Structure formats: C-alpha cells, structure tokens
Amino acid sequence: MDDLARLEELLLQKQGLVIINSHEEQRILAMLDRFALLNGRSVTTWSVTAGLREGSTRKPVYNTEEIPDALRHVMTSPNNSIYVFFDAHHFLADPTVIRLVKDIMAMDSGRMMVMITPDFELPDDLKKVAAVLEPKLPSRERVFAILKEEAGKWADQSGQKVAASRESISLMTQHLSGLTESDVRKLCRMSIHDDGAVTAADINRVLRHKHQMMESAELLTLETEVPTLDEIGGLSRLKQWLKIRREVFISPDNAPGLPPPKGVLLLGVQGAGKSLAAKCVAGSWQLPLFRLDFGQLYGKFHGESETNLRNALNIARTIAPCVLWMDEIEKGLATDSGDGDGGVSRRMLATLLTWMNEREEPVFIVATANDISSLPPELLRKGRFDEIFFVDLPDDAARCQIFGIHLAKRKLDLAAFSVERLAELADGYSGAEIEQAIISAAYAGHAEKRGINQADIENAITQTQPLSVVMAEQIAALRAWAGSRTVPAN
C-alpha cells in the first residue's frame, strides 16, 4: 500500500490527527495537495512565520501566527479541509495546545489535521487520538528513474550523454536505496554534474554522504581502507566462494530462484587473516564495509545495550547494500549460564538472531571469532550463516603469496629475494607475523642506513617464536574442533 492509499484509509476511518515523520516537507505537501485533489478537499497550511494559508493559492488567514489562534480557527472552519502544520511539535508541550487539539478531535467533524515533523515522541495525551504515518522510501525502480531524470537534465544542458557503465549505474542505484527522495535527487545531481559521468569515485562519495546522513558513526564505523581479494594471500576456497556469490548478491533479480547470500563466520587462529578477509569481501564486491563494535554498544542502564544493537542493525538495513563486519563476535555474545552479566548477553543474542531471521535488505554479515567454544549454539546452527570457514595458518604457497604482497607494498624488487626460502623458514607463521618480520627487517636495514635484504628477513624470522609454537596446545584444539565442523578457507 502506497502513502496515498494509507492516507485515504485514514480519511475513511475519520482519523482526525495524522503525524507524518519526515524531513521532506515540500514533497509531503505535494503529496497532500494531490491527495486533497483526488478526494475533493482543500489544503490549508500553517507555520509559525506565515500562520494559516488556505487553498491552492495559499491565501493568508490573518491573526493566526500563534498556534492557539490557528487551532481556534480550525474549530470553526469547513469540514472538508485538511490542515497541514509545520513544526507543530515545538508547541506540543503547551497544555493549551494539547487541549485545543483534543477538543477538535472530540468534535468528530471530519476535519483532518496533519503535522509534518521529524522523528518525534508524541505527548501521552495525544498518542491515543493520533495516527503516525512513516512515508515509504523510494523503491529501487524510483531511484533509477530519478538517476535517469538527472542524467537527462545534464544531457540537455551540456549536449552530451552521461558516461556510465551498466555496473556503475547498478551500484549507484543500490547505494542510493534507503535514502529519502530529496536526498537521492541531490546526490544524483552532485555525482553527475561535476564531470558528466557516474564513476567509482562518485559511488564512494555517495557512500560517505549516506553514512553521514544516517548519523551512524557512534554505532557503526565506516571502514574506508578496504582492500581487494588480490591483496590477501591464500584463502583460495573462501575467495572462490565469494566470487561465485557476488553476482547473486549484487543483482538478485538476475538470478531468480537463488536466495541471496546472508553471510559467513570466519573462525581461526589469531593473525591468520580473518579481519583482512572480512575487509576484502567488501573490496571485492565493491560494497561499503561497516564495523560493529560490541564494546561500544554496551550501556549501563537496563535495556540500553539491546536498544543500541537494534539501532545499529536498523542503520545497516537502511544503508544496505553493505557488508556488516562483526569483529570478535564471541566477546559481545559469549554466554555462560545466561545471567553472569544480568542476562545482557542473552538479550543481545536474541536481538541479533531476530534481526538475522527477519531482515530482507541486502546486508552481508562477516563475523570473525577466535574462540568458537564461547559462542552460543543458537548462532551456529544451519541457516544463520551460509558457511563457517576455518582460517588456518597459511601453507607454503600462501606464505609465498604473503611475502610477495608485503614486499611489493614496500616497492622492493622481488627478484632480489628468495620468497620460497623465506616461506620455508616461516613455516607456522601467520600472515600478521610475516608482516611483522618484514617490518623488523626494515628497522634493521634503516639502523645501518641501507635497504632491506634477504638476510634481514631471515634473521627476523629465526629470532622469534610464532604463536603456533607459543600456544601450540590451544591451536591444536581449535584445529581439531574445526576439522569436521567447518570448511577450510585455504
């Protein structure tokens, strides 16, 4: 049911007071003008600066700048009018205003008062007599139509067509979803009018603006440095899995009958590349990556933590399509008897599971965990995640790739190094430990006022013990558990 149909339903029900939560005053007013025209009514508007203004010509009604005077005029006005009040929420703490509104409602005269406000909590006195209408956000088809309209306007002005690939248009349309129509139009215009093209830079700019509009920085962190799958060594099975599912997630309409992927859980040894793999999902799929930090969600008041989690997850749904990275998820959802923390973890788990089951928006979850034994079984059952991957220490081939990646990042000549020899010496090292060995070698070279060489890296490797040796028993237990319960990522 669209917004006009919902308004007509409220009119038939003789709903006298309708609260429309929106910042888009002019778009909502245009919708109400159309609604009034279709139903043989007139529209009268009120604002604190202009008072009441009647009909399509907005003829002023004198001495109605004060809202009590405006409401008294409404009480004696024709029954077929629709009265639209802007910013009325600023005056709803006044007992006189509340009493006048209730008196108008009690008359049951068929008048309809509409208050357009941002997200606002009604006074208790008005909750029982008011209906709240949340305007629907534009559909993907409508977003595409707006993008096409703005492209047409630019072409008419410049005499040139907008340059854009099919994929960039698809990504732009997806990332603009979840915004109001006025924001969609503003961002489309901004993206097109600077250079007459829709590019990757425009898409990234839209994502930044979208993140700011959602005011999500306190609950979700936008990760701006997002690598691609080519920038991570090993993990061949995970990479192949992601490549196969990318198109279905990005363009589900092109794969009817296939359910879009929901997410993965990455379990593994510390430093083996789980966090980097989570970032690479977003990079390879060209999606924004938002990090959910459970530590920031926990509050001191009863119910505050669950509310914070619910708000963060709803923001992710609004920003979709996106990748939601839940790092070290066991720290936020680990449960013992269920009441060791007053039951907060249990309630947080229930909130997350409900959201995972009910969400329809394209939010791909990448959860990472070091200790699977701390996670509740409800989170691990089939259907929560598409797959549970075990990220083990890199094998010989993966270590060669990792050495090559880090040496290339430092603009070093790979021909000057025996990557195979380094990979052999680094048996049992994680990707993070390999990077640290190269950093240690760089310090050694810097101390002697020269560049890094093979011997520096070999010395750095042999002079330390990797985590696989220091925590051999724990890693062996983790591998044993994962052996028959997970899919190897390598």
Q: What is the pLDDT of residues 375-396, one digit of tens each?
A: 888 888 878 899 999 988 888 9
The CATH architecture to which 396-470 belongs is Orthogonal Bundle (1.10)
Strand pairing class (51-54; 59-61):
antiparallel
- Do residues 230 and 276 touch, judged by C-beta distance below 8 A? no
What pairs with residue 289 in β-bridges?
A: 223, 323
**211 pLDDT band (50/70/90 cuts)?**
low
Could you give the CA distance from residue 244 to residue 422 in angstroms, rounded to a whole number?
Answer: 33
pLDDT score at 86: 94
pLDDT score at 439: 93
Residue 218 backbone class (left: φ over 0; alpha: ψ -120 to 50; beta: rest): alpha
Could you give the CA distance from residue 426 to residue 396 in angstroms, rounded to a whole number?
Answer: 9
pLDDT score at 337: 45
Instruction: Tell me the residue length of the chain.
Output: 490
Structural domain boundaries of the chain?
3-133, 140-214, 241-388, 396-470
Q: Is the pLDDT of residue 445 over 80?
A: yes
Could you give the CA distance from residue 35 to residue 137 in angstroms, rounded to a whole number?
Answer: 18
Q: For the CA atoms of the chain, what is the radius of gyration?
A: 29
Kindly state the percentage of the chain with pLDDT values over 90. Answer: 22
Q: Specify the DSSP element, H or E, that contains 338.
A: none
Could you give the CA distance from residue 123 to residue 322 in angstroms, rounded to a whole number?
Answer: 36
Closest C-alpha to 263, from 369, 431, 384, 154? 384
DSSP letters for 404-434: HHHHHHTT--GGGS-HHHHHHHTTT--HHHH
Domains 3-133 and 241-388 share a fold: yes
**442 pLDDT band (50/70/90 cuts)?**
very high
Q: Is the pLDDT of residue 310 over 80?
A: yes
Which CATH homologous superfamily contains domain 241-388? P-loop containing nucleotide triphosphate hydrolases (3.40.50.300)
**4 pLDDT band (50/70/90 cuts)?**
confident
**296 pLDDT band (50/70/90 cuts)?**
confident
Domain 3-133: state its class.
alpha beta
